[in-house]
Each structure stands twice: as C-alpha cells, then as structure tokens.
Structure 1
C-alpha cells in the first residue's frame, strides 16, 4: 500500500479520496488505497453506499454498525427522543448536577439487570462515554474495593483466553495476551492471569467443562492473594473469535470468585440487550455478577454511551474507603442527549418484541448458513441468538470478501478467519436470507478459489 499526504483541495477530488488524505480508520493503515465506501443514506436495516468509481449499492447492514444499531436506522421513536432532548439541552456536566434522562436511565438499567434469588442486586450505575471506558471504570472499581477492604495487594485480574474488552490500556490488559489484537504493547500492559477459554458450547462434554473448571479453580487459588476480580465476556466472546461457551461456565465463575474473595465482572457490552437470546447473557445461567458493563446497543447505535453497574455493597465499601470516591469522571459522563435516546431504546426493548425477532433471526441464520459447511474453505458454522458465524480454515481476505458481499447486497466487516453477522433485530426473514446467501456466496467466490489453488499446489 502506498501511504500519502495529499494537499489537493476539497471539491477537486471525491469524498473518499479526501478521507484517505486526512482520516485514520480503525485497525487500518493511513494509506492511499484503503478500501472505503461512502454512506449516502441509512434507513431501516439498509445502507446506501457509493463506491470509489461512483457506483451505488443498496445493502443490508449485517453488522448493525458494530452490533449497536439493533433497532435499525432512522427509528421514529429514537429520532423523536433525540429531537425532544435537543429542544431542551444537549449536554451539561455531571459533576454536582443531575437531570431526568440520566436518572431515568439508571432506574431502567437497575430494573432490567440480571437478578436471581439470594443474590445481591446490581443497583448502582456509573455512566461512561464508551464500552472501553466502562471496563476501565469496572477494573478501577475492583481495585479500589479490595484496597478499601484491607487487601491492597489485590491489583491484578483473572480472565480467560480469547477475550476482548476494549482498546484502552487497562482493558487491553485483560484481553487475550497472545492471540488478541494488542500483542504490540507487551511491555505496557498489566501482568494479569489467564485461564484457558472454556470449551465450545456446541461440542462441550461434561468432562471437558469439568476439566476447564478445575484449571480455573487452581489458577484462582494460586494467585488469589494478588487478584482483585475475574472479568469475562459471558457466554459469547466477541472480537476475540466469536466463541460461544456453555452457560454452566458462568456458574463456575461465580463460585470461583466467591471462594477466593474476588469480584466477578461481566462485560456485556456486546452480549447485552438480547443479542444471545436472553436480555443479558448472564440470564442464561441465572448468575448475577458484582459488576456489569453495558454499551453498544444501549442507545440503539445513535450515540456513544456505556454504563458500569455494580452492587450496593461494592459501592458502599468504595465510598467509605480512603479515597472516599470512585476515582473516575469523564467530561461527557451522563450526556443528556445520549441518555434520552438510550431511554427510548430501552423502552422499545421493554415491550419484549425483541425476543421474537432474535428467535426468528437465529432460526434464519442457522438454516441459511448451513450450506456454507459444504465449502472446502470453511472449518465451521455456528450461531447463538442473533449471531451467525462462518469460520474459515485460513485468514479471511477482508477487502475481497467485503467487496463480494456488497455485490450480493450485504454489508459485512470480517476479521481474522471469521465472516460473521449480527443483524438488527427488525430484520425480516427475507433480509436474513439475503445476508446468509451473501455471506456464503462471498466466501465461495473469494476463498474457494484459494482453497482450490492450495489443493493443486499440494
């Protein structure tokens, strides 16, 4: 790739060329031929894209804009909520002030949070600007809790391989240290403890689950004097590989945390608000963590907002500790505009219709992706809730598969060796069929040729 620094004037080149000259995109180089499509419109589950050569494509968004736009685009309820709040005020600082959208959102989140008989409720909410920041807050809270409990040596974390929790430094430190996206920073990340990833849900045997549980117990016992908390993505690891594991592993995590005096943190940023078929992934096992992080779908993809929710006991211990406060305070914490839209989004979820949507999508993904198993380039196909994954035997050609999917009317963003979808909950059966057909066709067109060439070379 040729990288550039362009001095051409706006108006003489296309928007995409201007972008390439000045902007830096996620997980991408700053280069002259970076594959990009201009979004000209978004409505329902569809994006109107314009390519480099001026051709236009009307595609189904199979990504929900990185899993956040669960209600689709230009939803009338969310649009109206944003406009009403704009007519009042869009932002005020949260230090020393409060407002109705934030209070209502906290009440909604507490009411919706996982609960189980005999378990403390999650009832204290800290609003943050992004998922990564909510994880940072959760980790800081866990360390402050242990210090306030008279255990200052407990400043490390137990996590599992294959995890992903964000791109800020503390969050990177609890992501997979070997096979994750942050191997470029080994000297800067905290030295945490990692258990093996749990066995795959679809093929896990009781013996395999027990062997994993034993290793987790042993690691926690060995390092308990320096551990503050356990942090995992419950049930489904997202950006670490779309790995689904058995719900009983969550029960094991709860037992291990309790046995060794550790807090249990569930990162539900990707899994929360119905994506796995329950409102929260924790609900599959009726396990309540001490701390939970939510984000992404919280505002229906309209604005950046996340939340850290913890038990009253955790909040009380930290509040009477030597610091006297949770030591974090984002400038845009509790942004009223974002909170107002989040309340509208959660109001849509409250009506329960998402369950039928996720069930319909899950069935469509399972049947629609099954033919991909016949492709030589495909290692596995798996689904959970409104998530569908084609796992390849080798690394995905991101640019080629993306372009091929667009030709079939589908927007995808593959990574590693995965071509996957997390569509909006309002997607119809025909739209899910278009997604699965497009995914399979894109893989076939790009990777079957590669697989055939490998066979010829052998």
Structure 2
C-alpha cells in the first residue's frame, strides 16, 4: 500500500470527509517557496502553509535556531519553570506589538489563544464584580478557530460551524463591515455596531474582531476606520477589545500588525501562525497591565489556563529567529512588491464572467467567484501550472511567502487564471 493509499484509507485531513476525502499530494521536501511532491513536481506554495511560512521553507537561520535549541532541551513544563527562549520572545513581542500591551500568555495554537483571550475577558469582569458582562460581540463574517469558544464567535450563518449552534454559547453579532480597505469612509458604517453597544453594553465583556482582514470567514478587506471606531466604542461603553491577528500578524497586510493601520491598541491581542515562520505550533495572547491585574483580583486569584506545551522552548527559539529574520530585512518593500504584482496579475480576472470580485492587500490576493469551486478539480489544474493553492467555497486566494520572487507571483496568478478558465 502506498503512502497516498494508506493516507486515504486511515488519515483524516482538515475540512474533508472520511467517506470521500479530497485528494492529497505527498510532499517529500520543501525549500524556498517550493514544495517538492513525490510525483516529481516542484510547485510554488501560494498558501505559506496556511499563512504561516512567511520566510518559505528550509530557512538556514530558522533551521539553526531549531538545531541549537533541540541540542539543549526541546521542552520543559512552564508551570514553575522558565527559560531564555520564552523570556527573549516575550520581550521581543512587547517591543514590537502595539504600545500598551504588557503581559504575554504563550499558548500552543491560534485557536487556543482565542480561548485564552475570551477567558481573560470574562474573568476580568467577574473579578470586578460585574459577572453579568459575560457576552461577546463580533462582526458577522468572522472566523476565529475551531475550538468551542472560538467557534461561538465565528459567523453563525455563513461560517463552517452551523451544526454546533445549539451547543455553543450565544453571543452578539453585528453586521459585517462593508466599506473596502481603500474606499471612502462613511460614518453610517459603524452605526449598527453602536446601536448594539447602546442596547447590550452592560452584558458585553469584549468585542472580538479580525482587524482589516476577515480571514477564513470570507477573506474580506475592510476599512481601518471601522477598527478605530470599534476601539472608541469599547472605550465609551466600558468593553474590552480583543484583536485576532493570528492570520494578519507579522507583516501580512503591509503593516507589522493590522491594528497598526488603525493606530489602535487592543486590550487583548491574539497571535499565531507566522509567529514561528511556520516551523512550529505556537501562539500568544498579549494583554494590558489593567487586564492582567484585573483577571487576578478576587477569586480564584489566578488565571486557570495552562496548556501542556505552553512556552515550548523549541518553538520559542524558532519564533525568536523568525522575528529577527523578518525585522532584519526590508519586509515592507517585499510585501508591497507582492501586492503590486498580485494586483497586476489578478485584477484583470474581474472581467471573467465567472468572477464576482478581486481584492488585494499586502501579501494577500483574493478572487471571489460567483459559485463555489470544485476543489479537487481546480487544485489539479493549479498543480499542472506549478502552483499550490487551496481554495474554499467561492474563494480562490493566495497568501505567498514574503520571499516570493516576481516569477513565483506570476506562476500563482497564471495558475489561477488557467484554473478559472478551465475548471469553472
């Protein structure tokens, strides 16, 4: 039995059926921006391994950091112990993240950092004697992960978790932002959110949103002023603000953090994905001193959360190296060049009858179709043209590594055009 045959029969992959799974392609190597398949193809990765591998694959500095740390020790429990990789990483995050964040909770995945952020917000108000503030509010169209608290703040209608609605805590959903990133702002945009704050603020612990880019919920790019106005509402109505930058953090939108487009600091910031450059699973929930102290006032006096692999030294060491690689290069110019080329290659696709909309920002390119695509068929066409692209629903999108060359971006854009014309 080949690896692919065994995989199809016994291994369950994300977002696919155990009865009729989508095709899988075996990877035997990876370097730079390319994945090397067992069938012989070398294909440009347009997904950065789900938005994480911003420096590409087999990066010498990240490899070295991993080797050095694993020769020292790969893991120790974080309860009662600490280590240099975690200390260095936390220092660096506090230096580069929006000003005012002062505490770092190191988690082991993006979804867990969302769980942590939500628990922080609810416990904060409970410890202030305001336990009635236990609901969250969020714009529709969002996606925050697949664990239960995270699912509860994903879009309840068009998201992927509708089956679990009766098992999830019910939160408050405002209309999704509609004004595009580069369009003219109108104050009516924030009016529905304001109305919900006015009506429900006494029960709202926190507003949670993905600043600037709603990711897996629909890849929408929206106006920075919306984020700024949400910050103002939270301040006015005594509500905490949680920003989910798991997908957007570390330069993806053209700013180091998407919050920087709006020049705001959230009360809680969730990070993941690109934190380690795609090498290891690691996440973080940062918060202000006010939140950290408030969470620990009154009973139980501690924050009751502790993932087994919290602060994993190996992951922290690689994260430190990844951040250094990012900040020691002209990443903004690289991301801007990717954005320019994505616009040149993808915007003309709006003329195709099958295409609803094209939008690009930073190292993100999105082609929204009028109908859902057949992933198995169109992905095979992408591979024929030398590209790895993983669509979902109506969306064909790319988030390539920041090291992608002009040739790499051309390959991705040409593959998308070919796949649309041939397979839709």
Same fold (TM over 0.5): yes
Residue range with higher mean Cα deviation, 320-329 or 397-406: 320-329
How far apart, in 2, do the equivalents of 1:280 and 1:206 lie? 21
1:227 aligns with 2:211: no
How far apart, in 2, do the equivalents of 1:229 and 1:59 lie? 42
How far apart, in 1, do the equivalents of 2:3 and 2:175 lie? 46
Is the 1:295–1:305 Cα contact (8 Å) retained in structure 2?
Answer: yes
How far has the Cα of 1:200 moved from its partner? 3.4
- For structure 2, the residue ranges without an aligned partner over 5 or more in a row are none
How far apart, in 1, do the equivalents of 2:204 and 2:153 lie? 12
Aligned to 1:344: 321
Is the 2:138–2:209 Cα contact (8 Å) retained in structure 1?
Answer: yes
> What TM-score does the superposition give when structure 1 sets the normalisation length?
0.91
1:153 aligns with 2:141: no
Q: Secondary structure of the equivalent of 2:36?
A: strand
Residue from 37, 59, 68 that aligns with 1:84? 68
Q: Which runs of 4+ in 1 moved over 6 A?
A: none
How far apart, in 2, do the equivalents of 1:126 and 1:169 lie? 19
Is the 1:91–1:337 Cα contact (8 Å) retained in structure 2?
Answer: yes
How far has the Cα of 1:34 moved from its partner? 3.2
Aligned to 2:373: 396
Comparing both chains, which one has the higher relative contact order based on Cα–Cα distances under 8 Å and sequence gaps of 6 or more?
2
How far has the Cα of 1:202 moved from its partner? 5.1
Aligned to 1:7: none
How far apart, in 2, do the equivalents of 1:367 and 1:321 lie? 57
1:18 aligns with 2:2: no
Q: Secondary structure of the equivalent of 2:163?
A: coil
How many residues are aligned here? 424
- For structure 1, the residue ranges without an aligned partner over 5 or more in a row are 1-12, 116-120, 448-458
How far has the Cα of 1:217 moved from its partner? 0.7
Q: Secondary structure of the equivalent of 1:308?
A: strand
Residue range with higher mean Cα deviation, 395-404 or 227-236: 395-404
> What TM-score does the superposition give when structure 2 sets the normalisation length?
0.98
How far has the Cα of 1:205 moved from its partner? 4.0
Aligned alpha-carbon RMSD (Å): 1.1
* CA separation of 1:33 and 1:101: change in aligned 2, threshold 3 A: closer
Aligned to 1:99: 83
Residue from 355, 369, 376 that aligns with 2:346? 369
How far has the Cα of 1:204 moved from its partner? 4.3
Aligned to 2:301: 324
* CA separation of 1:80 and 1:430: change in aligned 2, threshold 3 A: same
Q: Deviations over 1:126-148 (max 9, x none)?
A: 00000000000000000011011
Q: Secondary structure of the equivalent of 2:167?
A: coil
Aligned to 1:456: none
Q: Deviations over 1:23-74 (max 9, x none)?
A: 1000101136631100011110000113xxxx42110000000000000000
How far has the Cα of 1:206 moved from its partner? 3.2
Aligned to 2:98: 114
How far has the Cα of 1:149 moved from its partner? 1.3
How far apart, in 1, do the equivalents of 2:397 and 2:148 lie? 27
Residue from 30, 37, 46 that aligns with 2:34? 46
Aligned to 1:9: none
How far has the Cα of 1:382 moved from its partner? 0.6
How far apart, in 2, do the equivalents of 1:437 and 1:235 lie? 27
Residue from 220, 228, 251 that aligns with 2:228? 251
Aligned to 1:191: 170
Q: Secondary structure of the equivalent of 1:60?
A: strand
Q: Secondary structure of the equivalent of 1:16?
A: helix
Aligned to 1:60: 44
How far apart, in 1, do the equivalents of 2:383 and 2:408 lie? 14
